[in-house]
Amino acid sequence: MVSVCVVGAAGGIGQSLALLLMRQLPYGSTLSLYDVVGAPGVAADLSHIDNCGVEVKFAAGKIGVKRDPALAELAKGVDVFVVVAGVPRKPGMTRDDLFKVNAGIILDLVLTCGQASPKAVFCVVTNPVNSTVAIAAQALKKLGIYDKNRLLGVSLLDGLRATRFINDARRPLAVAQVPVVGGHSDVTIVPLFHQLPGPLPPKEQLDKITKRVQVAGTEVVKAKAGRGSATLSMAEAGARFALKVVEGITGAGSPLVYAYVDTDGKHESPFFAIPIILGKNGIEKRLPIGPVSESEASLLKEAVPIIKKNIELGESFARSNL
Ligand code: LMR
């Protein structure tokens, strides 16, 4: 069956994510947990849950150890890595402020995991996603195993938020998934509400909802007041996303998801959150973004140069550290 590894499994996102995966992975799957602190405890705890038929494995890392042999061993035979390791924001910080610490973490983890399982699909949650995915791509290129269809930046939380906020505003009308494209930070997050069926709220209200989606991560950071950023909703989004990847690679389905991926020359930005179809080899198909309203078009125009700069930052970090 399928083997999924949560990298950063003992942190705020990792623990909830591991629980959600444990409950929902297909019977007979393996769930591997890695972290630099706390992995044995999370593994012991989870492995007492009955009747889910998921084997739990773990490796305990050590802070500061690069290319950790314990992770390299655990990572063998893994089909899907969900990387959530890294530091979260504190009030007043942007996602880009995390770059200094998280860039080095993602580079090291992807090198270690990629070498152990060159055919695995990587789902990157670690922020700033707009840059960390570009770093991961460079790390995989360095190993000579880069596959543009097997590297996915997880931007789905923006979709959950957009869906929640618009459904709250249009009750009892409800949609299952709002398309959100662009990147995963502030103005680079572009919800495409005009693609939804049914009447939309007046422009002023819709603009407010769009803005709220863009700054929703900061809303959580402020509310947590120094105790991190979104963990529960992020875990829910990460688990849903990883389970779609599993659905694709196991041949159980061909789900459509929105993810921040290599656009394969189909967009002016090398990485962008777009609609994709998942399948046995990761991304099976990149779909067009579809029709956008005038206001959405101008949001997209604003997002592109910022995302390109975020990518360039990630690539130049990788160039000097590989
Ligand atoms: C989020 O969208 O909540 C996450 O990216 C965490 C953050 O720092 O905002």
What's the average pLDDT block by block, 10 residues per block, for the chain (322 residues)? Answer: 97 98 97 98 96 94 95 98 96 94 97 98 98 98 98 98 98 96 98 97 98 98 95 98 98 98 96 98 98 98 98 97 96
Of 228, 89, 99, 215, the residue nearest 158 (C-alpha): 215
Residue nearest to atom 5 of ligand 1 (CA): 217
Domains of the chain, earliest start first: 2-155 (3.40.50.720), 157-229+254-310 (3.90.110.10)
Ligand 1 touching residue 157 (CB < 6 A): yes
Q: What pLDDT, on a 0 to 100 scale, did the predictor assign at position 52? A: 86
Cα–Cα distance measured from residue 203 to residue 126, given in angstroms and rounded to the nearest whole number? 33
The CA 230 to ligand 1 mean position distance, Å, reads 6
Q: Is 310:130 a contact under the CB 8 Å cutoff? A: yes
Q: What is the pLDDT of residue 51?
A: 80
User: Which residues fall within 8 angstroms of residue 283, CB to CB, at 6 or more apart?
Assistant: 148, 149, 150, 152, 261, 276, 277
Closest residue CA from atom 4 of ligand 1: 217
| Residue 311, phi then psi, degrees to nearest 5 | -65, -45
Mapped onto helix, strand or coil, the DSSP state of residue 267 is coil
Neighbours of 96 (CB within 10 A): 18
The pLDDT score that the predictor gives to residue 110 is: 98
Taking the whole predicted model, whether its pTM rises above 0.95 is answered as: yes
pLDDT at 39: 98
Q: Please list the alpha-helical segments (H only) found in the chain.
A: 12-24, 39-46, 69-74, 99-116, 129-143, 156-170, 203-214, 216-224, 232-249, 294-321
Annotated binding site: 8-14, 35, 89, 95, 102, 125-127, 161, 234
> 50 CA distance to ligand 1 centroid (A)?
32
Count of residues for the chain? 322
Q: Is 124 in the pocket of ligand 1 (CB under 6 A)?
A: no
